Amino acid sequence: MKSLEEIPRVPPHRVLGMLLGRGAQRYEMRELHARQYRELGPVVRLGRGRFLNVNLFGPDANRFVLLDRDRIFSSREPWMLIMGSIFPNGLLLRDGAEHRHHRKIMHETFKRPVLREYVERMHGAIEQGIAEWAPDASGRLRAFDAFKKLTLDIAASIFVGVDLGPQARRMNESFEAMVAAAMPGLRLPFVGRHHRGVQGRLFMKEFLRGMLEKRRGDPGGDLFSRLCRARSETGEAFSDADVLDHMIFLMMAAHDTTTSTLTSLAWELARHQEWQERIRRESLALGDPSPDFDALDGLVGLTRAVQEVLRLYPPLPVIPRTAQRDFCWADYHIPKGTMVVVSPIHSHYMSEWWDDPQRFDPERFSPERAEHERHTHSWIPFGGGTHMCLGKRFAEAQIRLVMHQLVRRYRWSVPDGYEMPVQQAPISKPVDGLPIQLSRI
């Protein structure tokens, strides 16, 4: 067994370059990880002491870390460092028995019959939201900003159950501040991005707290009401504090990742017009502008395009864990306290598992090819194991519903030669907001 010191290490000057280079980690994460894997192998060490990280590359490592059958890893510890001051008790930031207990109760709010109700409630918010899209004088619209507003409005309606309007706008402004504050950066106590995020969290807690008593007895179908009423099989319920923490975290997770995926999908369909037309024909042939949850599976081309975009632009490019005890991997001894990182953004591009991985090719997810089934953990846009995204099916349904209505109402394109500048971390998004040329059908 080899020691930690024998793990191939990124040279200090390169680590310094990543730290000093403007946005290197944010904009070039996939390239950085590909280079580490190519030059140093599947286990790579960065930093020392309390800043020690070990990157584990490949589907086998993904399976080992995410399934965590030996209960080695903490999800809470690394995520607390990243977003703990704003989203301290979300499901992702809980471990062990506490996590299992909370997840079991919350599972009631994402069962298939409930998802069907969410879909029915979403139609109006989506239709109203995209009907208000207003390109500028040149006919262009910043797709990221438009999707961001739309997903926040959907969250206000479906998650919280408030009418779209001034109240929802105030909530959305606070929530945007919270999301921005959760990203790495300078954290000053009384000014700046982090301070605005803390204030946003305080507003959200008081805003939701004011509705708690009514929602405890409310038979409403929104997520907030359901969390208030949710019970485990043995009758256990969430405390008021738990409901507030879970609501705030779930809204962040749903909004951020869905906005990212919708924007990436809009980009790929703008530059692959044949796929945009295929999806449009499919949606028009369905006949129903407001399909139910089960009918969404009939949108085969759209479903495969969403899967491919999640491969190319995983909303979370890396997944961190902290080792709670010593463990061994690939003949290396890795000590307790090490930050261990697996990389969806690298696994999704490995030529060992994907044919021509740089290419947008939704048919790779067809039953005939099924490239994503070559390994259980080569495609992990929603994580895996006990921390697999609980809202996975909700997010997939929302993305397909939005795109279904969008292709029925609009065509869009980008200028010849345009390439979307992508910020890959901490979440995938276009640096320029993705300006698209939008026209009504």
Whether the per-residue pLDDT at 195 is higher than 90: the answer is no
Domains of the chain: 4-440 (1.10.630.10)
pLDDT in tens, 240-267: 999 999 999 988 888 888 999 999 999 9
pTM for the model: 0.93
Whether the per-residue pLDDT at 20 is higher than 50: the answer is no
How many CB atoms within 10 Å of residue 161?
Answer: 18
Whether the per-residue pLDDT at 162 is higher than 80: the answer is no
Which DSSP letter does residue 352 get?
A: T
Q: Indicate the pairing of strand 339-342 with strand 53-56.
A: parallel
- Over residues 329-349, the mean pLDDT reads 96
How many CB atoms within 10 Å of residue 99?
Answer: 17
Length of the chain equals 441
> How far is C-alpha 436 from the geometric centre of its chain's CA atoms?
23
How many CB atoms within 10 Å of residue 184?
Answer: 12
How many CB atoms within 10 Å of residue 432?
Answer: 11
pLDDT in tens, 33-92: 999 999 999 999 998 777 789 999 999 999 999 999 999 999 999 999 888 888 999 999
Angle at 353 between CA 350 and CA 355, to 5 degrees: 90
Whether the per-residue pLDDT at 187 is higher than 80: the answer is no
On the CB side of 346, how many CA atoms lie within 13 Å of its CA? Answer: 25
On the CB side of 293, how many CA atoms lie within 13 Å of its CA? Answer: 17
- Between 423 and 48, the more confident residue is 423
- Over residues 376-389, the mean pLDDT reads 96
How many CB atoms within 10 Å of residue 419?
Answer: 8
Q: DSSP letters of 220-241?
A: --SHHHHHHH---TT-----HH
Strand partners, 333: 328
- Over residues 220-231, the mean pLDDT reads 90
